[in-house]
Structure 1
Amino acid sequence: MELRFLLLLLLLCISGFQAQESDAVESRVEGQSLVVECRYRSPDYSATRKTWCQLRGEICSPLVSTSYTSYGYNNKVASGRTTIEDDTRNGIVTITMEKLQVQDSRVYWCALYDPPNTLYPLTTIKLDVFKEVHEYDVIEGQSLSVQCPYNTQRYKEEKKAWCRSTVQNKWEVLVNTYHGFLSYQNSAQKGRARIHDDTQKGIVTITMEKLKVDDAGVYWCALYQPPNLYRIIEVKLAVTKTTTTRVVPVTSSTGHTSLILSTASAGVNPADSSLSSERNFIILGVVLGVLFILALIGLVILYTRKSKQLKTRGDGQAEAIYEEPKDATVSQGFGNMNDPKDDKQEIPQDLKYATLAFKSRPSPRESVYDNITPSRALETPHTRSSTEPVEYASISLKPLASGTKS
């Protein structure tokens, strides 16, 4: 064992085999997978065991490792959601982690492994697993509250932080929990930001009060292992000003100055503007539709009234068949008002016109004709039909005065 250790150390220092410490940061959304390839240079280590370990402080705890069995070198091993495979011919170790969870956020080593505690890192990976990105759009002066769940079994009393993204992908810790002299301090406040860690439920609650437009940006709710931050939830915050009305003086070409009320909203997002335009378009369409329906109803009512008026005029011309003579000396008269010229026109055969003049009482000298009953002389048993309604009239004729030409 000691000889192998010395040989390995000697090769690391002399033969040029160096640990590849090219630190890489891998970010994944919860549920995704991670695939890492680690290369080793010397073929002398093709049979050396490899491991994938999680770094906690100064100790890296192996999660999965290649091994030796009675059949020889086992270059592919799976443990839980993690698999390691050693391609000894090409000198590549491949690690696969599936169905990542927030609690998988850590620093990992892909390393040569000499059990039980000898590790030589090939690659250092910082893994950042977070839940879906949350987006908030609030108005200036309002408050923001964010809840971040985590695994209580593994991170119950680890420090939590609320941090903000700055230039060059750096992060500024705004407020964080900490370990006090006697116990874990799960609540803290700094400025307008407050953090509370419910270690029983596994929920970190962040509150930011009296938000300003300058507070817009990207934030993390994260596990905090100084100087490392492991994101739990990413928050994209947009803060807009309220709509304000101000008086703007405007000077015309004639030199007169007038005041105009100007309404503006600072910090409005393009998405908000698009939603507002879409909303206005829908309202305009509804209004135009209502106006069109009302206009259509008005046209129908107007057409119906016009039709009734035309029908009333036609009925009046057809029914006005009696008129009283203007000459009071004429007692009664009867005549067929059909004009011979009208015979050429197409007039219904059953339509007759007459002018009747009535007098209160006929004189004894006047002849009186009375239609009493309808005649049935022309009816035959074959042509007899149901009796149609019959109108009766009494007509009296007054002799013409002497000297009057007939």
Structure 2
Amino acid sequence: MAMELRALFLLPLCFPGLQGQAPGALRRREGDTLYVQCPYAPWTTDSQTKCWCLLKDGRCQELVNTYSKQSRDRRIIINDDSTTETVSVTMVALKAEDSGTYFCAIYKSYYDYPRLRTISLIVFRELLQWELDTLTVLCPEGSGAWCRGQAECTVMSRQRSSKQSEMKSLQDRVTMQYHTQGAFVTMKNLQIQDSGVYWCAPGDSRHTRKMEVVLSVFKRTQQLTAKESGKVSVQCHYKIAEHSTASKAWCKQGEGKTCSVLATTRSESPAANSTAQEGVRIQDDTQQGIVTVTMEQLQVQDSGVYWCALQDGSGLLRMEEVTLSISKALPPGAFPDSGSQSQDVLLGDSCSGNTFLILSVVLLLLLLLALLTCIALGVRYYRLLLRTGIREAEDTSDRAEGTAQPGSTGRRESSQDDSKGPAYINLDVQSSPSPEDPLYCNVELSQAPRNPQHVEYAIIAFNPPPRASRE
């Protein structure tokens, strides 16, 4: 057996083609898909069985081969393309526990798996938490340390027995407890500065990542405004089961990360960084899990950032962050300052867009209505002119020379020389005679020439005017 193991160890050194490629790290998010292609080695044949292995204890833990083509959980599929001489492996629905070293190999015997390609797979789990939440992670079997850092491992906790897992203070917030399936890591009272990359590492190596976690912690915030000389009340919520017995504090954040305590629920004297302030009261309702803070007689200089925090001898842990803005009170009859005017201007600007759109639509409708009205009036005026022209033409044709017009005054019109032609008479008929009745015209003696050569008689009959039927 020793000779066989030595032969297997020396085989890649004697034949470079048998040596696998250098490990290349691949990062995938939990739930993603991994696709890997492994070209054949020059000495590989199509009939040989190819495998996808997990490196465990320096040996191949076979997950799937080209004979079965699919793993038991159906998350891994392997294909052998003899045309391109390439083996392709697909892993779907990746889990954080899938992190490890994998390689494509040729199956020769139980102990002989010449490698085609080796990769280092890191599957990270994204976790989103609020401040003061509790994070629990189950590290795979064989994990002995909980590390933090992107490249180098900063040990946050090591595996302990159940009796050693009790935390001494709020700042001692990370424990790692042994379990039959691995090791449970617990991080309590999370803070925003806890955001980062964590991983489970074996007890004998801090460079091997068995499982990786990307943690993002968010803080709860409030924004309040008040008037000078007024008061403000703030409520902060917490989990009763975890923090009902802890002391609560109200502090104001200064330069850097320091926060000066203004009020606390502790019965003993405040800590060294405490600055008691008059007009500030704090009440803790442990039945509902609510801390209520009241500040009275506010001043402009009270504006700033405050914390509702848990407090013990080791320091403060933020529950919620409150941003307080105090505006200066105005005397009676005074006008708002430029700051308030600018707010009004901003408010007016926010509404001007919709107002401009509405006015534009109304003006467009009015313009269209005016245009339609002008077109209608123009058409009506044109029809009126056309009708008036027809009537004038008819009147002109009816009033031809030598024709009597009913309704006209009776007078005699003659040419410049009465002796050279007959007289023309315009008749004024007061009543409309029957079309069958003749009409006789008499000429007075004063209107007749002295020596008439001849006398003409005219009989005029009336027919209904043509325009009467048109109207």
Structure-2-length-normalised TM-score:
0.42
